[in-house]
């Protein structure tokens, strides 16, 4: 269901998320509006989000937990976060943590890896042992076969056809639990000179406020979100994205920090990042299918039902042998 979250949310919340103008965003107007909103509400703001994916408006998260939406050009107040938006946020939390922040994510992540390395791999071995010398037979489903044989054929055919999609979905999903471990392992692909990607960007001038940064903003990437200082540390974290709409292919991002002394620290920048971080940035679009465009999203949507079919058919195969 979450595969189609952008379309569903936009349909149910057109008054909060969509604007009439369908042309490409005028970045200067957009940044001016955001600057004005920050000047009006700066001390209360926790995060501010610019148009990205299904959202064509500006949203502000306040320190008291409230979220409001504003027109990206006029700054007109559009309303507060709706129940349907909150529903999808909670759905994502349950999907990643079962609603138990302390240990739920480890149940999800471990289960995903067990699914890949135990269930899928053992299934592939069994399939190969039987059909390794007659591969074409392993892809055939005999529709007119007896019920018991049909169930077996259904299990083997769906299992082999969806082996790769399910493997990619589960393995990429486990990343959100074990992201640090994934990155450490993937560092074997890094070139020595690219291991440390954090640096002060001396090509940029110093800025004495977030408003001044927005006034002189000139980046290849687009600002996606600004996270305001916490605990008085004076650091603004700025997330940038290559394209505002849902994109096919590699997801290219940049993260920066604006410090109290006006310096800008680049935390990550896709073209200059080590390969391990470039790879890590693709786990979300792989998991949700967006890396493959609409075809990839449909494949993930359909694949989401396959484990249930495999569970039922596998259980029937098990019982038939008793």
Comparing 197 with 192, the larger pLDDT belongs to: 192
Share of residues in the chain with pLDDT > 90 (%) = 65
* H-helix segments, the chain: 5-12, 14-17, 27-41, 83-97, 104-114, 121-131, 147-161, 163-174, 179-186, 210-215, 275-280, 283-288, 293-303, 306-320
Instruction: Kindly state whether residues 102 and 165 are assigned to the same domain.
Output: yes
User: Is residue 145 helix, strand or coil?
Assistant: coil
> What does the pLDDT look like over 265-321, one tens digit per residue?
888 999 989 999 999 999 999 999 999 999 999 999 999 999 999 999 999 888 887
> What does the pLDDT look like over 234-263, one tens digit per residue?
889 999 999 999 989 999 999 998 887 778
Q: Which domain holds residue 216?
A: 196-273
Whether 225 maps to a domain, the answer reads: yes
pLDDT bucket at 18, cuts 50 / 70 / 90 = very high
Residue 98 φ/ψ region, left for φ over 0, alpha for ψ in the -120 to 50 degree band, beta for the rest: left
Instruction: Kindly state whether residues 60 and 10 are assigned to the same domain.
Output: yes
pLDDT surpasses 90 at 226: yes
Task: Output the CA angle 223-229-231, nearest 5 degrees.
Answer: 160
Whether 288 maps to a domain, the answer reads: no
Question: What is the predicted pLDDT for the residue at 69?
Answer: 98
Instruction: Kindly state whether residues 200 and 182 are assigned to the same domain.
Output: no
Whether 262 maps to a domain, the answer reads: yes
């Amino acid at each position: 269901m979450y595969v189609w979250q952008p379309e569903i949310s936009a349909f149910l919340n057109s008054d909060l998320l969509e604007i009439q103008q369908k042309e490409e965003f005028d970045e200067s107007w957009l940044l001016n509006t955001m600057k004005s909103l920050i000047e009006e509400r700066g001390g209360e703001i926790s995060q501010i989000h610019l148009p990205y994916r299904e959202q064509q408006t500006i949203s502000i998260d306040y320190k008291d937990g409230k979220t409001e939406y504003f027109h990206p050009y006029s700054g007109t107040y559009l309303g507060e976060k709706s129940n349907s938006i909150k529903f999808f946020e909670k759905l994502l939390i349950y999907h990643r943590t079962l609603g138990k922040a302390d240990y739920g994510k480890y149940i999800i992540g471990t289960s995903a890896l067990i699914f890949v390395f135990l269930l899928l791999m053992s299934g592939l071995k069994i399939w190969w042992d039987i059909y390794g010398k007659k591969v074409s037979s392993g892809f055939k489903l005999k529709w007119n076969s007896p019920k018991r044989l049909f169930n077996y054929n259904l299990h083997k055919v769906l299992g082999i056809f969806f082996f790769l999609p399910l493997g990619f979905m589960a393995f990429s999903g486990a990343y959100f639990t074990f992201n640090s471990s994934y990155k450490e392992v993937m560092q074997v692909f890094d070139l020595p000179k690219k291991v440390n990607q954090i640096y002060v960007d001396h090509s940029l001038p110093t800025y004495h406020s977030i408003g001044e940064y927005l006034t002189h903003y000139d980046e290849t990437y687009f600002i996606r979100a600004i996270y305001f200082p916490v605990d008085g540390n004076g650091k603004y974290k700025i997330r940038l994205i290559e394209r505002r709409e849902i994109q096919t292919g590699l997801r290219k991002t940049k993260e920066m920090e604006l410090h109290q002394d006006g310096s800008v620290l680049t935390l990550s920048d896709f073209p200059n990042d080590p390969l391990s971080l470039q790879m890590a940035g693709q786990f979300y679009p792989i998991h949700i299918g967006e890396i493959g465009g609409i075809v990839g999203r449909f494949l993930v949507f359909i694949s989401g039902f396959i484990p249930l079919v495999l569970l039922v058919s596998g259980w029937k195969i098990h019982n038939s042998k008793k």
